Amino acid sequence: MTDRILILDFGSQVTQLIARRLREAGVYCEIFPFSADAARIKAFDPKGIILSGSPHSVTTEDGPRAPQYVWESKLPVLGICYGEQAMCAQLGGKVEGSDHREFGRAELLVQKEVPLFDGVWVKGGSYQVWMSHGDRVVSIPAGFEVVATSGGAPFAAIANVAEKRYAVQFHPEVAHTPDGAKLLSNFVHKICGCKGDWTMAAFRDAEIAKIRAQVGKGRVICGLSGGVDSAVAAVLIHQAIGDQLTCIFVDHGLLRAAEADQVVALFRDHYNIPLVHRDASDLFLGQLDGVSDPETKRKTIGRLFIEVFEEEAKKLGGADFLAQGTLYPDVIESVSFTGGPSVTIKSHHNVGGLPERMRMKLVEPLRELFKDEVRVLGRELGLPEKMIRRHPFPGPGLAIRIPGAVSKEKCDILRKADTIYLEEIDKAGLYEKIWQAFAVLLPVRTVGVMGDGRTYDFVCALRAVTSTDGMTADFYPFEPAFLGRVATRIVNEVKGINRVVYDYTSKPPGTIEWE
């Protein structure tokens, strides 16, 4: 069995980044809530445990703690930020609130070389790290020693080398700690002894075997959206069970240009996968008519999608299993901080839950993967590169990129502008450098002069962001000449738009969608 590491989550917004760094190092890992019991941890059989950060304070009575089994197991443990504080509090050290907080970049001074720093940091060296803490450790447990300090944290890194227990006050998982990924690699490889043999090819073979075992001779229905997640899930399941799978593609009229035709061609012609294509665009646009509240739009689209999907599933005679392109971040986000299941299951369009009346068991072959890993798997499965590299496109589609009421006319205008924008990004060789780019049709009309006539048309906003985790985003710094070229094309070629603006805002952790 592949070596694995367990990450216990205390609620940090960047816990997922720890998992990404470990998988980049070739080590499989999963995230459990801090409240996971001993039986679950034993069943996972990790070679080491990492304790995440947290927005909570270990000095309060309700501050979360690691399960006692973590310390009884004698497994290697790495505590990160709050994880260090929890380790100290539980093993006999002391943590207090402090007036001297550290948030942001800090300089770490290495006091002693230990296996965690091997080949990365040397004694006496000063290194940049990213801090984010208010409380501070004031005494450490017996058997530990200080191995690094910072201006605001005299116990910035501590270690009990004999028992393979390490803790750091900073966040090695974030990009702002330049050597952080190497430290995490040292922990899993040199301290925990993981081989680092987790590959996507091995995952594919193992998942195909799991799908066959789960489904047996049953029938599976998979909902396609046009995005990479559902496409990869469908192709993987088809490789496992062949024509026991039928895909249903609900076209709600809110897709990007030519997207419906591409989906049908890929699955019917290229893969010969049984496919039902339902054009329900008139139904969706009809019920969205006059609806301007973004949350109402989402819920309307989600409800209609399930209703249409159910209609088509009944025509097929039903099925035993429903396949979804659920990813690992969806799994993590569907669990509350205390470990209880969310009241809703991620639907195919991220806008609600599946009704109990559907009575199908779920097949979610991607639920252990991150977005970038899904793309790697897609290449393993031979999907066309055009599909794999496609920017994320949320289930509600153009509806959330048209603030205010949605209409077919607005969708057609926006599709044309969006196509031009993405064409120019691709021609400039920038598509792979940008995590997500799209056009937005603002609910604003302006007076303009084009040639000898006056116009009264919509304003189009352009957005492009870079992101490594899909949780935070920063605007892409286009050259003015590029933006000028795109704006000129859109105004000249798209009837209904006479002005183009660029969105120079960044996004903190949270949604990257427009509404």
Residues carrying an active site annotation: 81, 171, 173
CA distances from 68 to 39, 71, 92, 181 (A): 12, 6, 13, 28
Helix (H, G, I), strand (E, B) or coil at 230: helix
Whose tokens are 């689209």? That residue is 301
Give the DSSP per-residue string, 446-479: EEEEETTEEEEEEEEEEEEEE-SSSS-BEE----
CA distances from 467 to 325, 328, 431 (A): 21, 17, 13
Print the SS3 string covering 93-161.
CEEECCCCCEEEEEEEEECCCCHHHCCCCCCCCEEEEEEEECCEEEECCCCCEEEEEECCCCCCEEEEH
Q: Residue 140 half-sphere exposure, CB side, CA atoms within 13 Å?
A: 20
Query: What is the C-alpha to C-alpha distance for residues 459 and 472, in angstroms, rounded to an integer?
Result: 26
Helix (H, G, I), strand (E, B) or coil at 206: helix
Q: Letter for the amino acid at 206?
A: A
**Residue 367 structure tokens:** 């639920």
Give the residue among 78, 82, 79 at the shortest CA–CA distance from 58: 82
Give the residue among 512, 223, 335 at the shortest CA–CA distance from 344: 335
Pairing of strands 474-475, 453-466: antiparallel
